């Protein structure tokens, strides 16, 4: 029987209209805009200068600080500038701009189609290789993977959980890699198990992806026996780390805690593929699968997109900005964010671009709270969104902390359920950021 998490959740239409669009190579662009801040933590430090020649896969910025990640060029050509440019959300970030000349890859990258399972590398060597190749979590947060695979002293991982839920509506990039490159993903999972020193992995896939479940079950029963495929109920936000752990292991991550506090490390399927490519093919993370979708598009797409392609490049590849579209979202409709600049470029963790029409973006007029408690019923973290909204609007930070606003996972389920169209996620997200800042500024006990 399919598993699921204990409380809350919603059932939006999954709108996986791009599920049957096979992955296509995205045409290499003329210019690449490579951000040095594509991960959680400190920005990487450029190691190239204006006028330098670079090859595809070459290190162009080095991790700086404990939580950071290396950045590699996604193209070959000449560095034309290093400058502050807006990212997808409008923040000014240092970018390495490369004028593309041909597509010459580093000779050390194995571009053959051979699938390599064997490795003699130790746990430390695997983690070092993942760090060297700049792999970050591709499930959203872009946390450097080598750090997640190195639990702090006193903590030990018992299980690796692989997130193949892809519960966000419209997104199909994870689904496509599960059906097109399943074995590479499973080898990536084995490598992460070896890195963590665990002998069991659970791989959760939502039941609206029967083909992926079938392919993965067939492979694991034939030769990847330490990885168990777990079908999950179609329910949002099934792919949230805490919800996945609850669904599969019935363990609860404590407030402000991490999965490792309950003996678990969670990694996304895209990350597993990037780990395979880094460790077995010597390929740094400089491209990824990106869904470009929307009901206003005549053809749905899943592209293998190089990091640093700007929105104009993406729109050109789909035949231009669809005439009915009024909004471009990076990510899905629940957790994605509106793209503010067409010159902004894709990053390692970009998973989708969603185009919406005016009708699809209309929010109903905000009314008064009718105390129906639908927001409470839908919250997967057991919070009281109507109350958090009120406290946020009143700026009552102490009460917000007492009511655990910091536990909000920003899934948007409350706002989706609210019949009064109250922008609950907006006000709660704002309050959460302020409360977390206060909590982090306190001296550690």
Contact set with ligand SF4 (CB under 6 A): 369-375, 378-381, 383, 385-386, 408-414, 417-420, 422, 424-425, 428
> In the chain, helix, strand, coil percent, each to 5?
30, 20, 50
Least distance CB 367 / ligand SF4 (angstroms): 8
Contacts of 419 (CB under 8 A, 6+ apart): 370, 372, 374
Burial class (CB in 10 A: 0-12, 13-18, 19+), 128: middle
Least distance CB 9 / ligand SF4 (angstroms): 9
Nearer to ligand SF4, 371 or 442 (CB): 371
Least distance CB 55 / ligand SF4 (angstroms): 43
Nearer to ligand SF4, 176 or 406 (CB): 406
Least distance CB 389 / ligand SF4 (angstroms): 6
CA nearest to 196, candidates 146, 233, 141: 146
Least distance CB 393 / ligand SF4 (angstroms): 12
Q: What b/e readout covers 64-89, taking b as 16+ CB neighbours within 10 angstroms?
A: eeeebbbbbbbbbbebeebeebbbbe
Nearer to ligand SF4, 147 or 415 (CB): 415
Contacts of 127 (CB under 8 A, 6+ apart): 146, 149, 150, 195
Q: d(Cα 193, Cα 246) in Å, to the nearest integer?
A: 20
Nearer to ligand SF4, 106 or 420 (CB): 420
What does each C-alpha distance from 413 to 9, 198, 329, 388 come to in angstroms?
7, 34, 18, 14
Least distance CB 366 / ligand SF4 (angstroms): 10
For tokens 């490579």, the residue is 34
Per DSSP bridges, beta strands 31-35 and 92-100 are antiparallel
Nearer to ligand SF4, 227 or 408 (CB): 408
Nearer to ligand SF4, 382 or 395 (CB): 382
Nearer to ligand SF4, 209 or 374 (CB): 374
Phi–psi pair at 32, nearest 5 degrees: -120, 135
Contacts of 8 (CB under 8 A, 6+ apart): 377, 378, 379, 380, 381, 382, 413
For tokens 């129906």, the residue is 372
Nearer to ligand SF4, 7 or 67 (CB): 7
Nearer to ligand SF4, 283 or 432 (CB): 432
What does each C-alpha distance from 96 to 34, 58, 100, 283, 290 come to in angstroms?
5, 13, 12, 20, 22
Least distance CB 258 / ligand SF4 (angstroms): 17
What sign has the CA pseudo-torsion 241, 243, 247, 253?
positive
For tokens 């689904």, the residue is 175
Least distance CB 424 / ligand SF4 (angstroms): 6
Nearer to ligand SF4, 160 or 422 (CB): 422
Nearer to ligand SF4, 59 or 391 (CB): 391
The answer to whether the CB of 173 falls within 8 A of the CB of 303 is no
For tokens 């999954």, the residue is 14
Contacts of 130 (CB under 8 A, 6+ apart): 145, 146, 149, 195, 275, 278, 279
What sign has the CA pseudo-torsion 337, 259, 397, 413?
positive
Least distance CB 350 / ligand SF4 (angstroms): 22
Least distance CB 437 / ligand SF4 (angstroms): 17
DSSP code for 345:
B
Least distance CB 425 / ligand SF4 (angstroms): 5
């Amino acid at each position: 029987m399919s598993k699921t998490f204990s409380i809350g959740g919603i059932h939006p239409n999954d709108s996986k209209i791009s599920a049957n669009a096979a992955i296509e190579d995205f045409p290499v662009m003329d210019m690449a805009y490579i951000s040095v801040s594509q991960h959680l933590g400190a920005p990487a430090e450029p190691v190239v200068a204006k006028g330098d020649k670079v090859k595809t896969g070459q290190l162009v910025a080095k991790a700086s600080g404990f939580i950071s990640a290396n950045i590699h060029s996604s193209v070959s050509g000449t560095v034309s500038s290093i400058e502050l440019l807006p990212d997808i959300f409008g923040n000014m970030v240092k970018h390495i701009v490369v004028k593309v000349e041909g597509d010459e890859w580093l000779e050390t990258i194995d571009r053959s189609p051979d699938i390599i399972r064997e490795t003699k590398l130790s746990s430390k060597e695997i983690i070092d290789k993942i760090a060297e190749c700049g792999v970050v979590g591709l499930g959203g947060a872009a946390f450097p993977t080598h750090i997640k695979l190195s639990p702090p002293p006193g903590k030990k991982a018992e299980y690796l959980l692989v997130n193949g839920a892809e519960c966000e509506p419209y997104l199909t990039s994870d689904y496509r890699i599960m059906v097109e490159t399943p074995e590479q993903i499973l080898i990536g999972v084995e490598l992460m198990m070896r890195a963590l020193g665990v002998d069991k992995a659970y791989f959760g896939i939502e039941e609206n992806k029967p083909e992926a479940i079938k392919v993965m079950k067939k492979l694991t029963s034939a030769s990847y026996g330490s990885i168990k495929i777990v079908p999950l109920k179609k329910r949002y936000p099934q792919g949230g780390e805490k919800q996945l752990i609850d669904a599969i292991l019935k363990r609860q991550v404590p407030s402000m805690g991490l999965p490792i506090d309950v003996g678990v490390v969670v990694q996304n399927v895209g990350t597993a593929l990037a780990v395979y490519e880094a460790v077995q093919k010597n390929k740094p993370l400089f491209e990824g699968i990106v869904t470009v979708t929307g009901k206003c598009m005549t053809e749905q797409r899943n592209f293998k997109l190089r990091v640093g392609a700007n929105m104009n490049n993406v729109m050109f590849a789909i035949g231009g900005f669809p005439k009915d579209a009024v909004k471009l979202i990076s990510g899905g409709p629940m957790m994605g964010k509106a793209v503010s600049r067409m010159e902004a470029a894709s990053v390692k963790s970009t998973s989708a671009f969603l185009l919406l029409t005016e009708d699809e973006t209309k929010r109903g007029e905000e009314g008064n709270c009718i105390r129906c408690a639908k927001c409470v019923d839908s919250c997967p973290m057991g919070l009281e969104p109507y109350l958090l909204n009120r406290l946020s609007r009143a700026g009552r930070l102490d009460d917000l902390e007492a009511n655990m606003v910091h536990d909000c996972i920003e899934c948007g389920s409350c706002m989706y359920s609210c019949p009064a169209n109250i922008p609950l996620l907006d006000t709660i997200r704002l309050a959460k950021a302020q409360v977390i800042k206060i909590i982090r500024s306190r001296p550690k006990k």
